[in-house]
Amino acid sequence: MTAVLVIEDDDRIRLALLLALEDEGYEARGAATAEEGLRTQRRDPADYVLVDLMLPGIDGFEGIRQLRRDDDVPIVVVSARDDTHDIVAALEAGADDYVVKPVAIKELTARLRALRRRGRAVTAPDGPEPVPVLAFGELEVSPEAGEVRRSGEPVAVTRTEFRLLCELAEHAGRVLSRQQLLSRVWGYDSGDERLVDVHVGRLRQKIEADPANPRHLVTLRGLGYKLQR
């Protein structure tokens, strides 16, 4: 059973979300604070984390950062705040997606399903097929093995970052627009392009020698992004 951790300080919202998620077939667990959520997740990791931003004690942004430190679990922010500033800050802290309250349960579960679709492909490492490795200079991406290496050293990326990288690697040398990436990686028909921009920024921090002047993951103004040698 897929487990979802809901970190939400409002008791009624938490209870209603837990009820609704259980109805949709998830194993739902709640936490009223970020600290409690971090403890729960360490003890018994859930498959998804939903987190509010306004929390007593450690706030949502810091909570996401600490969760992200040793976990690549998909994190979805569920917040009443929809300022650009908050959205970008939450995504930069490591969130995979951002939805604004009130979100319909159908929409929320659709987002979770999209996150699962883009989860790391779990294939047996000793499978019959040789694992194709896509190389971009010192950067190597193996979609099947779910690995990214830079100069031979493994690079820790989140599932969403990995899916984004794979999407770009599979279309090496070609431009993908933000809308195309939104649809292929996040499953949005139309959505917030900041999602793409922030994830590309995070990815550059990990795979580029000089993230400010990227060599591999380049921006084409007004068009989109391209991964190149």
Residues in touch with other proteins (CB under 8 A): 10, 12-13, 15-17, 19-20, 23, 78, 80-82, 100-106, 189-190, 193, 222
> Residue 5: how many CB atoms within 10 A of its CB?
25
- Kindly give the pairing relationship between strand 134-136 and strand 3-7: unpaired
Rounded-to-integer distance, Cα 112 and Cα 124, Å: 24
Which one, 55 or 169, has the nearer CB to other proteins?
Answer: 55
- Kindly give the pairing relationship between strand 153-154 and strand 147-150: antiparallel
Rounded-to-integer distance, Cα 220 and Cα 229, Å: 15
Closest by Cα among 210, 214, 213 to 228: 214
Closest approach of other proteins to the CB of residue 5, in Å:
16
Closest approach of other proteins to the CB of residue 140, in Å:
33
Sole residue written with tokens 């200079």 = 137
Using CA atoms in the order 83, 89, 94, 96, what is the torsion angle rounded to 10 degrees? 20
Closest approach of other proteins to the CB of residue 226, in Å:
17
Which one, 152 or 222, has the nearer CB to other proteins?
Answer: 222
Which one, 50 or 166, has the nearer CB to other proteins?
Answer: 50
- Kindly give the pairing relationship between strand 134-136 and strand 139-142: antiparallel
Which one, 78 or 112, has the nearer CB to other proteins?
Answer: 78
Closest by Cα among 87, 109, 90, 85 to 6: 109
Closest approach of other proteins to the CB of residue 62, in Å:
21
Closest approach of other proteins to the CB of residue 16, in Å:
4
Which one, 29 or 216, has the nearer CB to other proteins?
Answer: 29
Which one, 81 or 206, has the nearer CB to other proteins?
Answer: 81
Alpha helix ranges (H) inside 125-193: 159-170, 178-181
Closest approach of other proteins to the CB of residue 105, in Å:
4
Rounded-to-integer distance, Cα 162 and Cα 185, Å: 10
Closest approach of other proteins to the CB of residue 206, in Å:
27
Paired strand residues for 27 = 3
Which one, 16 or 133, has the nearer CB to other proteins?
Answer: 16
